[in-house]
Structure 1
Amino acid sequence: MRTRRRLSPARAAAWTYLALIIFVTVFPFYWILRTALSDNFALMAEPSSVLPVDFTLGAFERVLGLATPEESLAAGGSGASLELGPYLVNSIVYATVSTALIVFFSTIAAYAFARLQWRGRDLVFSLFLSALMVPGILTLLPNFVLVKELGLLNTFAGMILPGALFSAFNIFFLRQFMLGLSTETEEAALLDGAGRLRVLFRITLPMSSGPVITLSILGFIGMWNDYFWPLLVTSDETVQPLTLALAVFKQSSPQSQPDWAGLMAATLVAALPMLVLFMVFGRRIVNSIGFTGLK
C-alpha cells in the first residue's frame, strides 16, 4: 500500500514557492488574454476587473482586418488594422534563414573544436567563450555601421548576416555534446577514405540530431521574438517582421488613447506560434539541454 508523505514545513515552503513562480509566470499571459477579450469602452470603466469586461472578439477582428474602420471606431478601437500576411511572411523568412545559417556554421565550428587537432585550438576556443561575457547591446552599433556601409539597410540580408556566422553559445553547446560521442565509428570511416566533411554530415551530425534540433527550435523562437535589431536596421514595412507590426499598429492610431484591447490581441497573435512550438517541443528542449550538460 502506498503511504502518504507527511507535509513537512520544508515541503510546504517548496510547494508555495513553486506555486508563486507559476503564478508570476502565467498571470501576465492571462491578463493579456483578458484585455484582448474586453471591450475598450467597458475596459476603461472597469480597469481592475479580473475577468474580461463585456466579452467580445472585436479586438481580434480589428487586428486581423476583419472590421471596417467605422466598426473599429464604434467599438472603441483606433480605426487601424494589422496586415498580418506580409508581416507573417517576413517573420518566417527572417527566423528560418537566420536559424538555418546559425546552426549550420555553429555545427561546423563545433566539430572543428571537438575533433580536429590544430595549433592554437584551445586558445581560439577560449576567445570564443569570452564572447559569451560580452553583452549583445555592445555589438549593435558596430553591426549597424557595418550594415549601413554595405548598403544593406531595409533588406533581409542586413537583418540576417550580422548574426548568422557566429554564435558562441551554440558552438559551446554542440562542442560539449560532440566531445561525449564515441570516436570509433568516425575513425573507421576515416580509415576507409572518408573525408572530414563526409564524416561530419554522415556520422557525427546524425548522432547529434537532438542538440541540433534543440538549438534550431531555440534559435527560431529567439529570432521570431527579435525586436530591437530589426527595428534598428529596417524602416520599410516590406521587410519588417511581425514583432514590429505591433509598433506600426500602435503608431497608426488616429486617437490619443491607445487601443489596448487591440494591442493585446496583436500581441497574442504574434506570440501564439511560438507558444505552440514550445508546448510541442518543450520536453525535447529540456531533455536535450540536461543531457548535454551531463556530457
Structure 2
Amino acid sequence: MTAMEGTQITGSTDIRPGDVARAAQVLLDAERSRTARGPITALWPDLDLTTAYTIQFEALRRRLDRGERLIGVKLGLTSRAKQRRMRIDYPSLAWLTDAMVLPAGAPLPRERLIHPRAEPEIVFVMGDRLAGPGVTAATALRAVSSVHGGIEIIDSRYRDFKFTMQDAVADNSSSGLFVLGPLSVAPERLDLAHEACLLEVDGQVEDAATGAAVQGHPAEALALAANLLGARGLAIEPGWLVLTGGMTDAVHVTPGARVAAHFTTLGTVTLAGG
C-alpha cells in the first residue's frame, strides 16, 4: 500500500480547499471527541470523489500510525434504496481496523459514539487474495473462506447524518464499530441472494431484507470492492474481512437498547443493552 499525498497544514482551525491532511485530522478529532460537525463540502464546495478518497486514505494512515491494524474493507450505499436517497448509482468503499471490532453479545460502548445506527450485514472472510480489475461475482466468491452474519454500527461525524457522497467517503463511510456472529458457514452452503434477515431492537422488528438487497447479490458487492481497489493498485488480502453493505435501512440505537440480527442460515448476532 502506498501513501497518498496531502498538504500538511498546521495551526489552522478548520478545513480549506486542498487541505487533505487537515481534513483527515479534523474528522479523526471529531470521532475521538464525539463531536458532530458540519460537512466538509460546506467549506470545500468543489471537493471531488478522488480527493475524498485521498482524505480517507490519509486518515487510515494516521490510524495505523497510532497502532491500529488494517483488517479489511467495508462497502456503503450498496442498496438501491440508499443510492436513490443519495442520488447516486454506485456504492462507496472504506477501511476496517481492529479498533472497530466488538465481541458478540457485548454492550454497545456509547461513550465512543456520537449518534449510532445499526444495520445487518453479510460478512466475508477472505481465503485468497482478490485483485481487480475484471473480478466477477463468481470469481470473488471462490476467494471467500467463510461467511458470517454481522451488525455494523455506523456513526457519521456529521451533524444529523447530513452529508454528500464526497463527505461520506472522506469520513470513511460513517465507520463506527461492527460485530460478527458466532456461525462460520462455507459460501457454497448458502444461497446468499435469498439469505434473509430480521433486524430487531428491544424485541421489536424494525426492518427485514434478503441478501439480494446488496447489489443484487453480496458477491457482486465483493467483486465491486476488488475492482475499486484494483483501480488504485490495491487488492483484498487473505484473511481480510469484507462487510458487504447494509441489508436494511440503518436504525437509530438509543442508550441501553438491545440489537439483534436474525439470519436464516447465519444465525443470530446480538449487541447487548448497556
Give TM-score scaled by structure 1 length.
0.21
Greater strand share, 1 or 2?
2
Give TM-score scaled by structure 2 length.
0.23
Asked which structure has the greater CA Rg, the reply is 1
